[in-house]
């Protein structure tokens, strides 16, 4: 990201009184952030209140320092995390921005990201949320609770799932660790994180400090994400807010152990509000750490005893993973089985050696919605979505805000 573009995004994000909703209205009206600040007060008031328009004509307090800090941080990728690790600031509209977050009422204006540099350099979403599961729970779990979190995460990651959690003590840490233990066995892919940690501090801080080594391991096999400016300390109010991102990035949320009043139940309820599945592991009626899970079960959460109980509730994710498994294990196209249902090929023919793939030809180079592309190709929804996901991972197609797709020009 060029420095002037970074400056504009940070100025918009840091302007007092202008939240994510107002910022999105301004972007929808004027395009890039740089265009917002050149507008007249009257033009701005078509989108925001007069007080907000006045603030937009002033430089936010601390903006210069924040810009210097962010620019220096971006230029020193790998300095703290190690060779091969990258840093990125990913705003709305960036092809790397996770599309599932756009379905939320309050998607973050931008995300700070740490992860493998090669992955962050690709113009594809950081992860496919259909193949991601949040695992959350108590910061003070029982020994069995920690083992359940680690075991479930290990099994899911081994099958190609991405485990999303919050890098907290207890269940979160065990879930990240379990996923990392399966990372060498996970399916190969250009962008296939085994785990994602969403933190409630600035991404340049590790909280708790005891998870420094775990955080460094995560950025070699997955991502750490934050919506908070660099240097943001671990403020209590930020953690419930970040929980909406944990829920939003995942097809479902598994609560391992939790008290009745806990952040894990906030995550689960946010997941339910976003139309995601909620799962809970039952425990002893005498254990305080089980009472939150039992509350969720009474409210309609799915009782879970094994990973298979989760997979049964997420058939779309299972189908997406099956297609990715086939794509990863079959580097070149092979003849399809006569009994197989019609589906997209795992890897399209190379235009340099064969005729252009018909779906790429139908997509062209202008942004297009799924319905329009489906009308042009005649493919069923499942096959088309699976094929588009494979092309995103291969760098052929980018997913844009608003459910649009765009073909990329490959050098």
Q: Beta partners for 369?
A: 404
Residue range 340-385, pLDDT digits in tens: 333 333 223 333 333 467 787 777 766 778 777 776 777 777 677 7
| pLDDT tens-digit profile, the chain (411 residues) | 889 999 999 999 999 999 888 998 998 888 889 899 999 999 999 889 999 999 999 999 999 999 999 999 999 887 777 778 999 999 998 999 999 998 888 899 999 999 999 999 999 999 999 999 999 999 999 999 999 999 999 999 998 899 999 999 999 999 999 999 987 655 444 457 999 999 999 999 999 999 999 999 999 999 999 999 999 999 999 999 999 999 999 999 999 999 988 889 999 999 999 999 999 999 988 888 899 999 999 999 999 999 999 999 987 666 656 555 555 554 434 333 333 333 333 223 333 333 467 787 777 766 778 777 776 777 777 677 777 877 776 778 888 766 778 887 653
Residue range 177-188, pLDDT digits in tens: 999 998 765 544
Q: Count the helices and strands in the chain (H runs, E runs).
A: 18, 12
Q: What percent of the chain has pLDDT over 70?
A: 85
Contacts 24+ apart (CB under 8 A), 26-33: 26/56, 27/92, 27/93, 32/5, 32/8, 33/5, 33/8, 33/9
* pLDDT computed for residue 400 by the predictor: 78
* pLDDT computed for residue 183 by the predictor: 73
* pLDDT computed for residue 390 by the predictor: 73
Q: Beta partners for 223?
A: 196
* pLDDT computed for residue 226 by the predictor: 98
Sheet containing strand 397-400, edge to edge, reads 368-369, 404-407, 397-400
* pLDDT computed for residue 346 by the predictor: 29
Separation of alpha carbons 119 and 96, rounded Å: 10
78: left (phi over 0), alpha (psi -120 to 50) or beta: left
Token pair of 109, please?
A: 């204006």
* pLDDT computed for residue 358 by the predictor: 77
* pLDDT computed for residue 252 by the predictor: 96
Of 118, 55, 62, the residue nearest 231 (C-alpha): 62
* pLDDT computed for residue 325 by the predictor: 54
- Cβ atoms of 113 and 87 within 8 Å: the answer is yes
- Cβ atoms of 170 and 180 within 8 Å: the answer is no
> Cα(first)–Cα(last) distance of the chain, in Å?
20
Separation of alpha carbons 247 and 345, rounded Å: 31
Q: Beta partners for 197?
A: 165, 224
Cβ of 183: how many Cβ atoms within 10 Å?
A: 19
């Amino acid at each position: 990201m060029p420095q002037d573009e970074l400056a504009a995004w940070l100025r918009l994000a840091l302007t007092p009184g202008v939240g994510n909703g107002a910022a999105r209205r301004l972007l929808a009206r004027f395009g890039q952030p740089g265009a917002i600040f050149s507008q007249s007060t009257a033009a701005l008031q078509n989108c925001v209140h007069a007080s907000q328009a006045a603030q937009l004509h002033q430089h936010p307090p601390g903006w210069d320092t924040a810009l210097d800090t962010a620019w220096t941080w971006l230029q020193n990728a790998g300095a703290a995390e190690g060779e091969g690790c990258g840093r990125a600031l990913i705003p709305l509209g960036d092809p790397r921005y996770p599309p599932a977050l756009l379905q939320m009422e309050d998607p973050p204006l931008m995300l700070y990201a740490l992860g493998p540099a090669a992955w962050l350099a690709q113009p594809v979403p950081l992860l496919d949320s259909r193949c991601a599961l949040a695992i959350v729970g108590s910061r003070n779990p029982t020994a069995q609770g920690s083992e359940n979190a680690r075991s479930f995460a290990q099994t899911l990651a081994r099958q190609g799932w991405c485990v999303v959690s919050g890098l907290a003590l207890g269940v979160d840490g065990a879930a990240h660790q379990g996923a990392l233990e399966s990372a060498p066995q996970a399916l190969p892919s250009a962008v296939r994180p085994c785990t994602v940690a969403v933190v409630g501090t600035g991404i340049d801080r590790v909280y708790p400090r005891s998870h420094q080594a775990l955080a460094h391991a995560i950025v070699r096999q997955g991502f750490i994400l934050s919506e908070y400016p660099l240097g943001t300390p671990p403020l209590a109010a930020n953690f419930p807010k970040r929980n909406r991102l944990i829920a939003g990035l995942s097809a479902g949320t598994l609560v391992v152990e939790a008290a009745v009043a806990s952040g894990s139940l906030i995550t689960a309820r946010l997941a339910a509000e976003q139309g995601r599945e909620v799962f809970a592991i039952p425990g002893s009626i005498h254990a305080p750490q089980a009472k939150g899970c039992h509350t969720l079960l009474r409210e309609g959460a799915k009782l879970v005893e094994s990973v298979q109980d989760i997979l049964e509730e997420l058939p779309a994710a299972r189908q997406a993973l099956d297609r990715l498994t086939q794509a990863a294990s079959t580097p070149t196209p092979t003849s399809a089985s006569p009994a197989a249902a019609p589906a997209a090929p795992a890897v399209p023919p190379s235009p340099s050696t064969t005729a252009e793939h018909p779906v790429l030809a139908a997509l062209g180079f202008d942004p297009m919605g799924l319905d329009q592309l489906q009308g042009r190709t005649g493919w069923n929804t499942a096959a088309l979505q699976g094929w588009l996901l494979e092309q995103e991972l291969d760098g052929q197609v980018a997913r844009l805000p608003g459910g649009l797709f765009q073909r990329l020009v490959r050098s």
